[in-house]
Each structure stands twice: as structure tokens, then as C-alpha cells.
Amino acid sequence: MSSEVIKIKGKRKSTFKDKVMDLLPEGGNLNLCLTCGVCASGCPATGLEDMDPRKFLRMAALGMDEELLSSNWAWMCTMCQRCIYACPMKIDIPALVFNLRGSWPKDKQPKGIRASCEMAFKHETMSAMGASEEDFRFVVEDVLEEYQESQPEFADMQAPLNKEGSEFFLNQNSREPVTEPDEMVPLWKILHLAGADWTYGTKGWAAENYCLFCADTKMWEQNVRVKAEAVDALGCKYWLNTE
């Protein structure tokens, strides 16, 4: 009885995995997979789109870039990094996911995330809700006045705007002043009772950065730079980002 040897010829060039390995320290350990499945056992996205971290890594290792790009699983992964902590070889699968997201055409990315990334650049507030400087100022001043009047013990509480030289520059999730303004107040009370020297900036006040979730590193950096410049313009010592 004779047997025929099956040979797998060559290697796909410029695979997605190879590109990512060039970006990561020590290649992100991507060649050390033992296929033990520990990563998949604790992953909240395991089973979605018939995918899990182990399968995702094996497909990347085999150069199955097109197959990975046709799966929505990269957008279902929470990038919680639980797989890295569980992995005996500390393989950085989330870095693969992140870079795969960045490979998707912008018009194919989830509309909500993509739109929020781009909406932030409508104003220098960087608000993913599209709130302007005037909108933010009105809400902060209106809510502050309401609580000063309704809660006498906080009659002298402040929510400063553009206070130069403050120790802390505070960012705020932009959904709160737009849809849940009362949710801003507990943090104001904490800062007030702690005697903290803080301020909001009407520019760069929004805390979130959806461009991160799109893996759009260029717009992600631009978003952060606008905020950092707002902190520097007011001469604040520390930047507190609530996200």
C-alpha cells in the first residue's frame, strides 16, 4: 500500500499577521500559539459569527486575510484582553483585532462607531454627539444654577469653564450634557467637597474617542491632540479623562 505526500506549497505574501507582527514588540508572541483554547474559553465573543480567538489567530497565521475581513467578529470582540491574561504564551490577539478593524474600508465599518468618530470633528469640543461650545456652556451653567438653588448645602459649588491655571482639566462624556445632564453633578460634588481646583474647557471637553474603536489611528491622534492643546492653552497641570 503506498501513500502520497501532500505538500503545501509556498506562503501567502504580505499576510495580515505578518504586518501586525512588524508593529508589535517581539512580534506580539503571535507565533507561540499552542492551540490550547484557553483564550476561547473565557472570551465573551466566543461563538459569535462562528468565531473565537483561537480560530481567529489560526486563520491569521494561515494568511486568510480575506476570510477575516469578511467576518464581523472583529467588531464583536470587546478587546478586553482577557485572552492575553489567560494565554500561557501571552499572545496579543487584541492587537490583531485592532489592526484588522483598521483594514476595513471606512464605509464598511459599523455606522454608529464610524459616525461618532467623524462627528467629533464637527466642533473643537470633540463631542461625538456634535455638541458645540455654546451648547456645553449653556447646559453646565443651567444645571449648576439649578443645583445651587435646590440643594443649599451646595450653594457655593462651582463648575468652572475655561479657568486658566487650574490644577485639573476635566473631560466629560459628551452623552451626559446632551441627554443626561444630571449625571454630571455627582462628580462636581466630589470635586467641590475635596476642594479641588478644576475646570472644564469649552474646547476639547469631550472625553470619548470613537476613532480608537475604528482603529483609525490618524483621527484618533488628531482627536487627542485637540484635547491636549486645550489643556495646555489653559495652563492646567493635570488632565482628568473620565473615559
Per-residue pLDDT tens digits for 136-148: 999 999 999 999 9
* Residue (of 132, 212, 203, 138) closest to 171 by Cα position: 203
The pLDDT tens digits for 51-86 are: 999 999 999 988 888 899 889 999 999 989 999 999
The pLDDT tens digits for 114-165 are: 999 999 999 999 999 999 999 999 999 999 999 999 999 999 999 999 999 9
SS3 62: coil
* Residue (of 214, 137, 201) closest to 169 by Cα position: 201
Cα–Cα distance for residue pair 233/165, rounded to 1 Å: 9
Asked if 51 and 71 touch (Cβ cutoff 8 Å), the reply is: yes
Could you tell me the residue ranges of all domains in the chain?
Answer: 16-104, 112-240
Query: Residue 7: is its pLDDT beyond 60?
Result: no
Q: Provide the pLDDT confidence category of residue 27 given band limits of 50, 70 and 90.
A: confident
Asked if 71 and 55 touch (Cβ cutoff 8 Å), the reply is: no
Q: What is the pLDDT of residue 100?
A: 92
Asked if 70 and 36 touch (Cβ cutoff 8 Å), the reply is: no
The pLDDT tens digits for 77-114 are: 998 999 999 999 999 999 999 999 999 999 999 999 99
Q: Each residue of 18-40: b (16+ CB within 10 Å) or e?
A: bebbeeeeebbbbeebeeeebbb
Could you identify the residue written with the cell 503545501?
A: 8
Query: Residue 14: is its pLDDT beyond 90?
Result: no
